[in-house]
Amino acid sequence: MNPRVLNMLSTLNSLEIEQQQNHNYIEEMPDNAINKKLSKENRIKVLNNYFFRNKDIYISRHNRFAPYPNHSHTFLEFNYMLQGSAQQIVDGQTITLTQGDLLLLDIGATHSIAALGKNDLLINILFRNNNINIEFLKDLRRSRSVLYDFLLKSSINLQQKSRQQTHLLFKTANNVKISQIIDSIIEEYFLKREYSNTIIKAYLQILITNLVRDYHLPENKQKSKKDKLIIAMLSEVDKNYQSISLKDLAKKYSYNRNYLSNLFKKEVGKSFTDVVMQKKITQAHILITSTTLPVNNIIETVGFSNKNSFYKKYYAFYKEKPLASRQNQNELF
């Protein structure tokens, strides 16, 4: 972290000096930053898009020495623990952030924050969902395996039961790349250099890409026998998608082929054939956009025997032809 920026973030402001004396929260938001109608309906303070009047992303250091009351917001928010620790209650769940932790709060999530000490530096990064290109996010999701999606759904169901998940906690203390990206975002914002808004938006996409790539799902120790079987099958698809068949898996796990087919469709929500096809298409897309290999070679590499079938399915999935995907990717750099 740039020493000048770190010094700025560590220096007490006037509100903190007063809060340090009496430990009572002092409202820092102007009236037009609070949605009075939603606040009245939900009986908690709801922050609106006031922060984005002149910029796409708003960053601040959380004021210390007094507890921040329960509130919600109409935008997405990252809470980054730059230094020290902080305790929050997010939709009734207690979460303790330690140095390097990054908490993503969805629109509508409610949370309160316990009083921070002098050496606790919590950074708020606020952004609207339209700051992240929708196609960019779709492509991230498509690049994840169906196994990842299945495990994510299982972990959410286990932790949240019937409730919608409103936050994700990323333990990034040992991820040097993540900390460098966040430091760069914070430095660009507070140093107010030329083109900083454009650079911050680009860094935000890079940050989210790395978080998605490195996110580790919490271990679910309550997996049923069926879940374990589906996870094993999906793992096989990830490893051997080029040549895998349901017949081979039925033989390997000693199950009737039709039983496996029906169970897979019920638990995953897609047929085994569709999942294998998706894996082949997404792997082809990765090779098309990240290498200069001829498309015909890529088609063979991912296990397609019919080129016409590949082109039809690729277009149906990505809404563009393979070479157009490669060209669009090249134009980004």
Burial 251-282 (b: 16+ CB within 10 A, else e): eeeebeeeebbebbeebbebebeebbbbbbbb
126-135 residue pLDDT tens: 987 655 544 5
* Domain count for the chain: 2
Residue 205 sits in the same domain as residue 232: no
**End-of-domain residue from the set 204, 219, 234:** 219
CATH number at residue 266: 1.10.10.60
Using one digit for the tens of pLDDT, what is the confidence trace for 210-245?
887 776 655 555 567 888 898 889 888 888 999 999
Token couple for 198: 């454009």
89 phi and psi angles, rounded to 5 deg: -120, 110
For the chain, what is the mean pLDDT? 85
Element spanning 101, H or E = strand 101-105
pLDDT of residue 163: 44
Are 256 and 318 part of one and the same domain? yes
pLDDT over 80 at 332, yes or no: no
Contact present, 165 and 180 (Cβ < 8 Å): no
pLDDT, average across residues 23-48: 86
**Are residues 213 and 243 part of one domain?**
no
Q: What is the average pLDDT across 311-315?
A: 93
Residue 306 has pLDDT above 70, yes or no: yes
Q: Are residues 192 and 312 in the same domain?
A: no
Domain boundaries, position 138: 1-219
Q: DSSP assignment of 18-84, as one string?
A: HHHHH------S-GGGB-HHHHHHHTSEEE-GGGGSS-SEEEEEPPPSSPEEEEEESSEEEEEEEES
Instruction: For residues 220 and 282, give the distance between their C-alpha atoms in angstroms, rounded to a whole number.
Output: 27
Name the nearest CA neighbour of 29 among 10, 45, 13. Answer: 45
**Do 215 and 196 share a structural domain?**
yes
In this structure, what CATH number is given to the domain that contains residue 94?
Answer: 2.60.120.280
Packing angle, helices 3-10 and 176-191, rounded to 10: 70
162 with 291, same domain? no
**Do residues 201 and 229 both lie within one domain?**
no
The most confident of the ranges 91-105, 132-146, 195-209 is: 91-105
pTM: 0.66
Q: Which residue has the higher pLDDT, 56 or 258?
A: 258
pLDDT of residue 157: 46
Please identify, among 156, 189, 219, the residue that sits at the C-terminal boundary of a domain. Answer: 219
Q: How far is CA 268 from the centre of its chain?
A: 22
- What ranges in 162-195 are assigned the alpha helix state H? 176-191
State how far Cα 166 lies from the chain centre.
11
Co-location of 209 and 246 in the same domain: no
Q: Which of 168, 197, 219 is the last residue of a domain?
A: 219
Share of the chain above pLDDT 90, in %: 49
Helices (H) and strands (E) in the chain, counts: 14, 10
- Over residues 191-206, the pLDDT tens digits come to 988 888 889 988 988 8
